[in-house]
Amino acid sequence: MIENKAPASLILLFGATGDLAKRKLYPSLFSLYEKGWLSNRFAVVGVARRLKGDEDFRHWVKDSIRTFGKPSARLEEFISHFYYQSHDVSDSSSYIQLKKLVDRLDETYSLEGNRVFYLAMSPEFFGTVATHLKEDGLTETKGFKRLVIEKPFGHDLQSAIKLNNQIRKAFLEEEIYRIDHYLGKEMVQNIEVIRFANAIFEPLWNNRYISNIQVTSSEILGVEDRARYYDKNGALRDMVQNHMMQIVSLLAMEPPIRLTTDEIRSEKVKVLRALRKIKPEEVHRFFVRGQYDKGRINGKEVPAYRDELNVAPDSNTETFVAGKLLIDNFRWAGVPFYIRTGKRMRKKSTEIVVQFKDIPMNLYYKNGSHLNPNLLVINVQPEEEITLHLNVKKTGKIMETTPIKLNFSTRNIDGMNTPEAYETLLSDCLRGDATNFTHWDEVALSWKFIDTISKVWEKEKGEFPNYEAGSTGPKASDELLAKDGFCWWSDTELNGKNC
Ligand code: NAD
């Protein structure tokens, strides 16, 4: 039986007044508190620049939980564990003062020296904060120390190595929890269960029975107020290097010998090592980029990416990526994994489609029946669903078939309330379970793969804008699959026609 309750711990939250803390972290912590999954012996120290003191901070946290969480009568009691320190991340005296507060709280709440340092702030500070935590004595503790670090972890392989070397001077690899919030999502965690707890799938989960796998993560939103960050990064770095590669590794990995952090990670790393390297001259063949033009979404005019606030009028940044990945091992040789992600698309959806190969002969075709391929569709968000597409007999017709769907949706379960990804990940980290966090080897291998593509794209001007806001992306993304005789299944469903 897995113990859900976290041990006594102090959470030091850098970036305590930021958007992430406000929308996700405080509501998630409160939800853990309500479930009884936080120890009664806990304290949170918020570190930022903006607020005046504990009272101001507690007010801020309450406000965040009232707006984004589910407040209850226990909110006041919860909030009494929160403390604030105004802080400058590059100033040693700030850390020395912080250490005094931390040592005091350690005693007050009997925290046994257990510390989680959560860096919810701009990545440019990650290295500086980690260095100061060590140099100014905050990591010297008799309990556990863990560093939770938000994305992005570097900008390319070289900068990721530099950052990693810097934080490794203060923390061991097993003390570093690199957040990929997709790994906290219920349906992403379900990939393993579907594969390894069902006898009907694992025997078919290979190149003999699967023709291709598609992973789409599309947003309706544009760049919003993230342009300063996004315009320097683009969809490849913001989405593909981390979330999409992680989903592909979970779909493609071999069954681990045990469900432990090390065994699962080691299988995921093997997938990334087996990814076929793309040569610079092949990038155009395997990858497509796009940038959104103006268009209409939900009946409203929306501007082109280049007309957004803080975006250069000639920006070469991609807001859409589609790619074909090949995994050169016995299980997957010859099976394309298509990935696609974009902003300002027709619908908000993260979806995995596993397309099985056609049966060797269609006995029903002569009677006018078209057989759809069998699909296993996993909807990660906003819906959480698993659907199996089958062909059955058309009622009342002698030998005609019709496609049907066997569906499981968390929406249909009474009282079901899926936890927010951050709630799951915070709980994992407090309990010392690093399975759903990214190991350095995974980060390095995915940057290595991505860097070839971004280098080519940086050198060449994209023919942007090349897709209308509210569409399914550039035409070239459909052609990428059409060349192999496939199509994006989720679009097909939207258009109401077959491939
Ligand atoms: P934000 O800009 O809203 O907040 C930044 C925080 O850092 C603020 O509390 C600010 O006071 C503090 N800060 C800035 N400079 C400081 C300094 N010199 N000294 C001390 N404190 C300082 O950022 P955010 O959107 O909350 O994002 C934080 C991190 O989380 C980033 O790495 C981001 O990429 C990542 N992230 C955010 C989201 C999200 O939904 N917002 C989602 C995924 C990942």
Residue-wise pLDDT tens digits, 30-43: 999 999 999 999 99
At 415, the pLDDT band (50, 70, 90 cuts) reads low
The answer to whether 484 touches 336, Cβ cutoff 8 Å, is yes
> What is the pLDDT averaged over residues 46-64?
92
Residue list, annotated binding site for NADP(+): 15-22, 49, 88-89, 151
User: Distance between CA 397 and CA 72 in Å, rounded?
Assistant: 57
Q: Taking 80 as the threshold, does the pLDDT of residue 210 lie above it?
A: yes
Separation of 344 CA from ligand 1 center, angstroms? 24
Q: Which tokens go with 45?
A: 């120290």
pLDDT tens track for 149-168: 999 999 999 999 999 999 99
Q: Which of 13, 17, 20, 225 to mutate to test the pocket of ligand 1 (most atoms within 8 A of CB)?
A: 20
Alpha-carbon distance of 142 to 380, in angstroms, equals 40
- Looking at residue 182, its pLDDT comes to 94
pLDDT greater than 90 at residue 366: no
- Ligand 1: nearest atom to the Cα of 152: 34
* Tokens linked to 56: 């101001």
Assigned token pair, 373: 């391929």
pLDDT tier for residue 364 given thresholds of 50, 70 and 90: confident
For the CA of 22, the closest atom of ligand 1 is: 26
- pLDDT confidence of residue 411: 77
| pLDDT computed for residue 72 by the predictor | 95
- 375-381 and 385-393 beta bridge pairing: antiparallel
Q: Which of 94-108, 228-242, 295-309, 397-411 has the lowest mean pLDDT?
A: 397-411
Start-to-end C-alpha separation, the chain: 46
What pLDDT, on the 0 to 100 scale, is given for residue 371? 84
Has residue 333 got a pLDDT over 80?
yes
Report whether 323 contacts 488 (CB < 8 A): no
Q: Residue 401: what pLDDT?
A: 86
Residue nearest to atom 11 of ligand 1 (CA): 48
Q: Mean pLDDT for the chain?
A: 93
- Cα(160)–Cα(144) distance, integer angstroms: 25
Ligand 1 pocket test: pick from 68, 122, 237, 438 the residue with the most ligand atoms within 8 Å of its Cβ: 122
Strands 349-356 and 375-381: antiparallel
Q: Point out the least confidently predicted range of 9-13, 238-242, 486-490.
A: 486-490
Predicted confidence at residue 132, as pLDDT, reads 96
CA distance 401 to 391: 6
* Spatial contact of 227 and 421, defined as CB atoms under 8 Å apart: no
1 pLDDT higher than 70: no
Helix (H) or strand (E) holding 389: strand 385-393
Number of the ligand 1 atom closest to the C-alpha atom of 87 = 20
- Number of helices (H), then strands (E), belonging to the chain: the values are 16, 17
465 in Cβ contact with 291 (< 8 Å): yes
Write down the pLDDT at residue 96: 94
Q: CB within 6 Å of ligand 1 — which residues?
A: 15-21, 23, 48-50, 87-89, 120-123, 150-151
Q: Ligand 1 center to residue 160 CA distance, Å?
A: 19
pLDDT confidence tier of residue 368, bands split at 50, 70 and 90 = low
- Average pLDDT in the 254-261 region? 94
Given 132, 155, 243, 389, the catalytic residue? 243
Residue 236 has pLDDT above 70, yes or no: yes
User: Annotated binding site for substrate: which residue ranges?
Assistant: 181, 185, 219, 238, 343, 348
pLDDT at 422 exceeding the cut of 70: yes
Whether pLDDT at 363 is above 90: no
pLDDT of residue 51: 75
pLDDT cut 70: percent of the chain above it: 96
* Strands ordered across the beta sheet of 176-178: 82-86, 42-48, 9-14, 115-119, 145-149, 176-178
Q: Choose the weakest-confidence range: 1-10, 45-54, 234-243.
A: 1-10
Distance 12 CA to ligand 1 centre (A): 14
> What local confidence, expressed as pLDDT, does residue 218 receive?
97
**Cβ(42)–Cβ(10) under 8 Å?**
yes
Give the ligand 1 atom nearest the CA of 126.
32
For the annotated binding site, the residues are 15-22, 49, 88-89, 151, 181, 185, 219, 238, 343, 348
Q: What is the mean pLDDT of residues 223-229?
A: 92
Selection from 95, 485, 469, 116 nearest residue 319 by Cα: 469
Mutation to probe ligand 1, out of 17, 19, 56, 90 (largest number of atoms < 8 A from CB): 19
Ramachandran angles phi, psi of 416, nearest 5°: -75, 130
Give the separation between CA 77 and CA 375, rounded to whole angstroms. Answer: 49
**What is the pLDDT averaged over residues 348-374?**
85
Active site residue 243: yes
Confidence of residue 499 (pLDDT cuts 50, 70, 90): low
* Lowest mean pLDDT segment, chosen from 42-46, 49-53, 97-101, 444-448: 49-53
Would you state the structure tokens that stand for residue 447, as one six-digit string? 């940057």
- From the alpha carbon of 24, which atom of ligand 1 is closest? 40
**How many Å is the Cα radius of gyration of the chain?**
24
